[in-house]
C-alpha cells in the first residue's frame, strides 16, 4: 500500500529555484513532484555549483571514447579492450556510520562501473581523517572505515589495489572516504545509460526499496550538523552478497547483447536514474510505483522515487525477446520487476494504480539552473616560511617524519584488503609507487590516486596541479605512461566566497596541468558542504586525482634498493618549497610557507626521460619524491631490503643550498633512481635536458648524508624501518 501524504516536506531547494520550477511548469507541483525535483536538483546530482568550472578541464584525447557525463569515463587500451573509470565519495554517511558508509560507498562506485557493462577489476580508496595520533574519534572513524571497505570489497571479489591516506585536523568530524573503481570490457559490449527506444520496458532489479537513504542526495548536499547522527533514514545497510550476485548476473546478462541501456540507482534513487536515462536517450518514461518492491508498508510515492536503498539497477530491455536476460536474473536469485516503459513524450510520468501522481518534463527535472556563486580570495596567512632552527637535527627530524601518520607504512590498511583476487595484480600495494594490473590484451595498467590538502589549503591552484603531478609520477615510476585521469574535488560550503574561490583555483590548476601534459580528465565528482559539524570550519580543500597509465613492456623497476654498489641519481630540481610540507607540520608544528609548484612542461620531459630509462632496463629502482621530500624517498628505498645509501647533498640539482630544503622540500617533478649502469643513465638524461645528478651509492646499513666532505647525518636503516613500520599499528591496535 502506498501512503499518499507524508505531511513533511523537507526541501533543499532555494527560493529562487522554487520560483523557477513554478514558472517553467506553469503550476504548483505536488508533493511527489517537488521530491523528484529536489533530488535531481541537489548539488550531488546536478553539479549546479560546479558545472561551469568543470568545462575548463580537457576531456578529449585519442584514447577517450567517452568523457564526463556518463556513469563512467571510457578509455581505449587497445586490441578491442576498454577500461571504465569512476570516482565517488561517501563522506557524510561515513562521518555518521563509518562502517556502513564506507561499505556502501564502494557499492555505489561498483554499480557505476557495472552499469556500463564492464567488469569491475580494481578499487582504490582515498581516505582523510583527523589526527589519529591524538583523537579517539579519528581512530574510531579510521578503524571502521577500513573495516567497512575490507568487508565489502573483499566479499564482492574486487581487489583493492591502491589508495592514499592523509590525516589533518580539518577532517576530524568530516572524514573523506573516496572510492575509485576501474572496469574492463570489450569495446563492443559497452552499455550506455540511456533509453533511446520508445516502447522498451524499464526493469528494476536487485534489492527492495526502503526508507533507508531517502533524501540521501540532499543529505550529501548539505553541511553536516550535530543532529546528523540521528538522521537515520540517510544511512544505508551494506549488502555485499546481494551486490556480488548482481555483478555476476549483470556481467552474464551483458554478454547476451540484449540490454539496451542500464543505469544504477545511486544518489536521488529512481528519480535521478529515470530522468537521466530519458534525458540522455531523448525520450520520456512512464512508471507504475505499485510494481516497485517496497520494504515498508505505506511508503509515499515521494519516498519511493527518492529512496537510495542499496543494490538496485534499472535495465532498459526490448518488450520482446529479452527472456534470456530474465533467465539469468532468475538463476542468480536477483529480483526483477517491469516498472514501466520508455515513451516518446519527453515527460516523466509516475503512477500509482494507474493514476498519475507526477508528470514533469524531463528537461525540467534534469535542468537545474546553475548557481553563480561569488568568489573571494581569502587572506592566506603565513605565506612566509617558518623560522629555521639553527640546528636542523636531520636524523631525529627524519625519524619523526618516518613515523608521522602521513608518511608511515600503510600496510596496516592494505593488508586488510584482498588485493590479489582476480589474479591481475602484478605490482601489489607496498611493492611499487603505483599498482600494476595485467590486462587480457597483454598490456599492463598502472593505477594510483593522490591528493595533498596541506598544499591545497595554502595555495589551491598549486595543490590542484600538484595532486595530478604526484599521481602521474607514481604511475611513471612503475614504468607506465599516464593516459587518463578522473578527479574528485572536495570542499566546504560553496556559498562561502572564500571556499568557492579555492574550488575555482583548484580546478584551474588541474586544468592547466592536464592541458599542458595532454592528460584527459574522463570523469570526476564534486563534493561540497564538507565542514566540521561542531566548529563549522570547512575542510582543507581536497582535490584528488586518480591517474591510470599504460605499460606494454615487461621491464619493471623495483621501488627500492635491492643491492649495494648501485649509483643513485636525483632527477629533477629541488626548490625551497617547504610550504605545507610534512617537515613544517610534524617537526616545526607550523602551517604556512610557499608550496611546491608543478611545472607541466618540465614534467613532460621528465616523464619521457624516466620511461626511457625504464624501457632500456637501466633503472634498477625508481621512486618519486613527494611527502617528506628527498630524505623520506631515500629512506623508503632503503627500508624493504635493508640496504643503506650515502648521499652527497652538494650534488643534488637545486635552487637552494640549505640542507633542510634539499632534504625535506616537497618540490614536484623529482625522482630518485638507482642503476648499475651509471654511464648508460647519464647518456639518456643528458640528451633529455632534465636536471639530474648522480648523488651517491647504495652501500652499508646506514642512510648517510654529507655535503661535500662534511658529514651531516647518518641513521641506521633498521631504526628508519622501525619508526616507519610500527607507527600505525601502535596507534591503531
Partner 1 sequence: MSKVGLFSVKVVVSNAEGASDPEGETIYRDLVSKSGFTQVKGIRSGKFLRISVEAPDAKTARELVAKMCDDLRIYNPAAHSLTVEV
Partner 2 sequence: MRVAVVRFPGSNCDLDAVQAIRTVPGMKADLVWHEDPAISGYDAAVLPGGFSFGDYLRAGAIAARSPALRHVSRMADGGVPVLGICNGFQILVEAGLLPGALLKNTTLKFVCKWTNVRVENTNTPFTRAFKEGQILRVPIAHSEGRYYLPERDLRRLEDDGGVAFRYCDERGRAVESANPTGTLGNIAGVCNEMGNVVGLMPHPERATESILSPSGSSDGRHIFESLLRND
Catalytic residues: 44, 90
Q: Which residue has the cell 567517452?
A: 66
Find which of partner 2, partner 1, none residue 264 binds, CB within 5 to 8 Å per kind.
none
Does position 438 bind partner 2 by CB under 8 A? yes
In total, the chain counts a number of residues equal to 733
The contacts of residue 432 (CB under 8 Å, 6+ apart) are: 477, 478, 556, 558, 559
Q: What are phi and psi of 658, to 5 degrees?
A: -70, 120
Q: In this structure, what C-alpha cell is assigned to residue 384?
A: 612566509
Does position 491 bind partner 2 by CB under 8 A? no
Query: Among 29-37, 153-161, 269-277, 401-409, which window interacts with partner 2 (CB under 8 A)?
Result: 153-161
Sheet bearing 119-129, strands edge to edge: 64-66, 73-78, 81-89, 176-186, 119-129, 160-167
Does position 314 bind partner 2 by CB under 8 A? no
The smaller minimum CB distance to partner 2, of residues 194 and 418, is found at 418
Distance CA(431)–CA(415), nearest Å, equals: 12
The smaller minimum CB distance to partner 1, of residues 240 and 494, is found at 240
Find which of partner 2, partner 1, none residue 212 binds, CB within 5 to 8 Å per kind.
partner 1
Distance CA(430)–CA(447), nearest Å, equals: 13
Q: What are phi and psi of 82, to 5 degrees?
A: -130, 155
The smaller minimum CB distance to partner 1, of residues 215 and 572, is found at 215
Distance CA(695)–CA(246), nearest Å, equals: 54
Find which of partner 1, partner 2, none residue 508 binds, CB within 5 to 8 Å per kind.
none
- Shortest gap between Cβ of 38 and partner 2 (angstroms)? 34
- Shortest gap between Cβ of 411 and partner 2 (angstroms)? 8
The smaller minimum CB distance to partner 1, of residues 134 and 295, is found at 295
The smaller minimum CB distance to partner 1, of residues 295 and 376, is found at 295
Does position 553 bind partner 2 by CB under 8 A? no
The smaller minimum CB distance to partner 1, of residues 86 and 211, is found at 211
Helix (H) or strand (E) holding 183: strand 176-186
In eight-state DSSP terms, residue 523 is E
Does position 614 bind partner 2 by CB under 8 A? no
Positions in the binding site for partner 1 (CB under 8 A): 96-97, 99-100, 140, 207-208, 210-212, 229-232, 235, 237-242, 295-296, 309-310, 333
- Shortest gap between Cβ of 541 and partner 2 (angstroms)? 33
Does position 419 bind partner 2 by CB under 8 A? yes
Strands (E), 33-80: 64-66, 73-78
The smaller minimum CB distance to partner 1, of residues 97 and 433, is found at 97
Report the first-to-last Cα separation within the chain, whole angstroms: 49
Q: In this structure, what C-alpha cell is assigned to residue 531?
A: 565542514
- Shortest gap between Cβ of 244 and partner 2 (angstroms)? 5
Residue 430, classified by CB atoms within 10 Å of its CB into exposed (0-12), middle (13-18) or buried (19+), is: middle
In order of 249, 337, 468, 582, 609, the CA distances from 465 in angstroms are 40, 47, 5, 18, 21
Under 8 Å between Cβ of 713 and 705: yes
Does position 156 bind partner 2 by CB under 8 A? yes
The smaller minimum CB distance to partner 2, of residues 336 and 573, is found at 336
Residue 384, classified by CB atoms within 10 Å of its CB into exposed (0-12), middle (13-18) or buried (19+), is: exposed
The smaller minimum CB distance to partner 2, of residues 181 and 278, is found at 181
- Shortest gap between Cβ of 240 and partner 1 (angstroms)? 8
Instruction: Single out the residue of 580, 577, 560, 583 nearest to residue 402, CA to CA.
Output: 583
Under 8 Å between Cβ of 634 and 670: no
Q: Which residue has the cell 582476480?
A: 422
Find which of partner 1, partner 2, none residue 422 binds, CB within 5 to 8 Å per kind.
partner 2
Among 34, 417, 528, 705, binds partner 2 (CB under 8 A): 417
- Shortest gap between Cβ of 209 and partner 1 (angstroms)? 10
Distance CA(474)–CA(491), nearest Å, equals: 25
Find which of partner 1, partner 2, none residue 418 binds, CB within 5 to 8 Å per kind.
partner 2
Find which of partner 1, partner 2, none residue 96 binds, CB within 5 to 8 Å per kind.
partner 1
The smaller minimum CB distance to partner 1, of residues 143 and 688, is found at 143
Sheet bearing 521-527, strands edge to edge: 425-427, 435-438, 444-450, 542-551, 481-490, 521-527
Find which of partner 1, partner 2, none residue 100 binds, CB within 5 to 8 Å per kind.
partner 1
If DSSP states are collapsed to H, E and C, what string results for 664-732?
HCCCCCCEEEEECCHHHHHHHHHHHCCCEEEEEEECCCEEEEEECCEEEEEEEHHHHHHHHHHHHHHHH
In order of 94, 119, 448, the CA distances from 181 in angstroms are 18, 10, 11
Strands (E), 265-370: 284-288, 312-317, 336-343, 347-352, 355-361
- Shortest gap between Cβ of 239 and partner 1 (angstroms)? 4
Does position 183 bind partner 2 by CB under 8 A? no
Q: In this structure, what C-alpha cell is assigned to residue 497?
A: 566566497
Among 136, 230, 297, 423, binds partner 2 (CB under 8 A): 423
- Shortest gap between Cβ of 123 and partner 2 (angstroms)? 13
- Shortest gap between Cβ of 295 and partner 1 (angstroms)? 6
Among 29, 213, 367, 422, binds partner 2 (CB under 8 A): 422
Does position 428 bind partner 2 by CB under 8 A? yes
Q: Which residue has the cell 610557507?
A: 593
Find which of partner 2, partner 1, none residue 157 binds, CB within 5 to 8 Å per kind.
partner 2
Positions 229 through 248 that interact with partner 2 (CB under 8 A)? 240-241, 244-245
The smaller minimum CB distance to partner 2, of residues 417 and 528, is found at 417
The CA-based dihedral angle spanning residues 94, 98, 103, 106, taken in that order and rounded to the nearest 10 degrees:
30
Does position 431 bind partner 2 by CB under 8 A? yes
Does position 155 bind partner 2 by CB under 8 A? yes
Instruction: Single out the residue of 91, 204, 106 nearest to residue 148, CA to CA.
Output: 106
- Shortest gap between Cβ of 135 and partner 2 (angstroms)? 21
Does position 150 bind partner 2 by CB under 8 A? yes
Pairing of strands 542-551, 444-450: antiparallel
Could you write out the DSSP letters of every residue in 574-635? B-S--TT-HIIIIIS----SPPP---HHHHHHHHHHHHHHHHTT--SEEEE--TTHHHHHHH
- Shortest gap between Cβ of 431 and partner 2 (angstroms)? 6
Find which of partner 2, partner 1, none residue 696 binds, CB within 5 to 8 Å per kind.
none
Does position 328 bind partner 2 by CB under 8 A? no
The smaller minimum CB distance to partner 2, of residues 278 and 328, is found at 328
- Shortest gap between Cβ of 414 and partner 2 (angstroms)? 8
Distance CA(85)–CA(297), nearest Å, equals: 38
Under 8 Å between Cβ of 717 and 641: no
Find which of partner 2, partner 1, none residue 8 binds, CB within 5 to 8 Å per kind.
none
The smaller minimum CB distance to partner 1, of residues 126 and 239, is found at 239
Q: What are phi and psi of 260, to 5 degrees?
A: -80, -30
Does position 414 bind partner 2 by CB under 8 A? yes
Q: Binding string to partner 2 for residues 245 to 274, with x set by CB under 8 A, is what?
A: x-----------------------------
- Shortest gap between Cβ of 332 and partner 2 (angstroms)? 7
Find which of partner 1, partner 2, none residue 231 binds, CB within 5 to 8 Å per kind.
partner 1
Positions 330 through 389 that interact with partner 2 (CB under 8 A)? 331-333
Residues in touch with partner 2 (CB under 8 A):
147, 150-151, 154-157, 240-241, 244-245, 331-333, 414-423, 425-426, 428, 431, 438, 733
Amino acid at each position: 500500500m502506498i501512503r499518499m501524504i507524508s505531511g513533511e516536506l523537507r526541501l533543499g531547494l532555494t527560493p529562487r529555484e522554487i520560483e523557477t520550477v513554478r514558472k517553467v511548469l506553469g503550476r504548483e507541483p505536488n508533493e511527489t513532484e517537488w521530491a523528484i525535483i529536489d533530488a535531481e536538483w541537489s548539488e550531488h546530482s546536478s553539479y549546479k555549483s560546479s558545472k561551469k568550472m568543470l568545462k575548463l578541464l580537457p576531456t578529449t584525447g585519442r584514447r577517450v571514447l567517452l568523457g564526463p557525463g556518463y556513469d563512467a569515463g571510457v578509455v581505449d587500451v587497445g586490441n578491442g579492450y576498454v577500461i571504465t573509470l569512476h570516482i565517488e565519495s561517501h563522506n557524510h554517511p561515513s562521518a555518521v556510520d563509518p562502517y556502513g558508509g564506507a561499505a556502501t560507498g564502494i557499492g555505489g562506485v561498483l554499480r557505476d562501473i557495472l552499469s556500463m557493462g564492464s567488469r569491475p577489476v580494481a578499487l582504490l580508496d582515498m581516505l582523510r581523517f583527523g589526527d589519529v595520533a591524538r583523537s579517539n574519534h579519528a581512530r574510531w572513524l579510521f578503524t571502521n572505515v577500513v573495516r567497512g571497505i575490507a568487508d565489502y570489497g573483499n566479499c564482492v571479489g574486487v581487489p583493492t589495489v591502491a589508495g592514499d591516506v592523509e590525516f589533518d585536523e580539518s577532517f576530524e568530524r568530516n572524514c573523506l572516504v573516496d572510492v575509485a573503481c576501474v572496469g574492463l570490457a570489450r569495446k563492443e559490449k559497452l552499455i550506455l545509460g540511456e533509453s533511446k527506444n520508445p516502447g522498451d520496458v524499464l526493469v528494476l532489479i536487485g534489492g527492495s526499496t526502503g526508507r533507508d537513504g531517502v533524501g540521501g542526495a540532499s543529505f550529501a548536499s548539505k553541511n553536516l550538523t550535530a543532529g546528523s547522527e540521528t538522521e537515520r533514514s540517510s544511512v544505508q545497510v551494506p549488502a555485499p552478497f546481494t551486490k556480488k550476485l548482481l555483478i555476476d548476473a549483470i556481467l552474464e546478462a551483458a554478454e547476451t547483447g540484449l540490454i539496451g541501456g542500464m543505469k544504477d540507482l545511486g544518489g536521488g534513487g529512481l528519480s535521478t536514474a529515470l530522468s537521466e536515462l530519458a534525458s540522455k536517450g531523448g525520450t520520456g518514461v512512464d512508471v507504475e510505483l505499485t510494481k516497485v518492491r517496497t520494504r515498508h508498508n505505506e511508503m509515499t510515492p515521494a519516498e519511493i522515487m527518492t529512496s537510495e536503498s542499496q543494490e538496485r539497477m534499472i535495465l532498459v530491455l526490448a518488450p520482446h525477446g529479452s527472456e534470456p536476460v530474465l533467465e539469468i536474473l532468475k538463476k542468480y536469485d536477483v529480483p526483477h520487476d517491469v516498472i514501466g516503459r520508455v515513451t516518446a513524450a519527453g515527460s516523466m510520468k509516475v503512477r500509482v494504480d494507474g493514476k498519475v501522481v507526477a508528470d514533469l518534463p524531463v528537461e525540467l527535472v534534469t535542468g537545474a539552473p546553475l548557481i553563480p556563486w561569488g568568489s573571494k580570495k581569502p587572506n592566506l596567512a603565513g605565506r612566509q616560511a617558518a623560522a629555521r632552527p639553527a640546528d636542523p637535527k636531520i636524523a631525529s627530524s627524519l625519524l619523526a617524519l618516518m613515523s608521522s601518520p602521513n608518511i608511515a607504512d600503510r600496510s596496516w590498511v592494505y593488508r586488510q584488503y584482498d588485493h590479489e583476487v582476480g589474479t591481475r595484480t602484478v605490482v601489489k600495494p607496498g611493492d611499487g609507487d603505483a599498482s600494476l594490473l595485467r590486462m587480457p590484451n597483454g598490456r599492463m595498467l598502472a593505477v594510483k590516486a593522490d591528493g595533498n590538502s596541506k598544499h591545497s589549503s595554502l595555495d589551491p591552484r598549486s595543490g590542484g596541479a600538484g595532486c595530478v603531478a604526484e599521481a602521474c609520477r607514481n604511475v611513471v615510476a612503475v614504468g607506465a605512461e599516464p593516459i587518463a585521469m578522473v578527479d574528485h574535488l572536495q570542499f566546504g560550503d560553496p556559498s562561502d566566497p572564500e571556499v568557492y574561490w579555492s574550488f575555482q583555483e583548484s580546478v584551474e590548476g588541474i586544468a592547466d596541468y592536464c592541458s599542458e601534459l595532454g592528460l584527459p580528465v574522463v570523469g570526476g565528482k564534486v563534493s561540497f558542504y564538507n565542514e566540521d559539524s561542531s566548529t563549522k570550519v570547512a575542510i582543507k580543500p581536497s582535490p584528488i586525482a586518480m591517474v591510470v597509465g599504460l605499460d606494454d613492456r615487461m621491464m619493471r623497476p623495483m621501488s627500492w634498493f635491492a643491492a649495494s654498489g648501485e649509483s643513485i641519481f636525483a632527477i629533477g630540481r629541488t626548490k625551497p618549497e617547504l610550504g605545507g610540507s610534512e617537515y613544517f607540520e610534524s617537526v616545526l608544528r607550523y602551517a604556512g610557507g610557499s608550496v611546491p609548484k608543478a611545472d607541466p612542461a618540465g614534467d613532460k620531459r621528465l616523464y619521457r626521460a624516466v620511461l626511457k630509462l625504464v624501457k632500456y632496463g637501466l633503472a634498477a629502482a625508481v621512486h618519486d619524491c613527494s611527502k617528506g621530500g628527498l630524505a623520506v624517498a631515500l629512506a623508503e628505498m632503503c627500508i624493504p631490503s635493508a640496504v643503506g645509501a650515502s648521499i652527497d647533498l652538494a650534488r643534488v640539482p637545486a635552487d637552494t643550498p640549505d640542507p633542510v630544503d634539499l632534504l625535506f622540500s616537497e618540490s614536484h617533478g623529482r625522482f630518485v633512481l638507482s642503476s648499475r649502469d651509471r654511464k648508460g643513465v647519464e647518456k639518456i638524461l643528458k640528451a633529455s635536458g632534465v636536471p639530474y645528478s648522480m648523488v651517491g651509492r647504495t652501500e652499508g646499513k646506514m642512510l648517510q648524508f654529507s655535503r661535500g666532505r662534511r658529514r651531516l647525518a647518518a641513521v641506521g636503516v633498521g631504526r628508519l624501518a622501525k619508526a616507519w613500520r610500527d607507527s600505525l599499528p601502535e596507534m591503531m591496535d
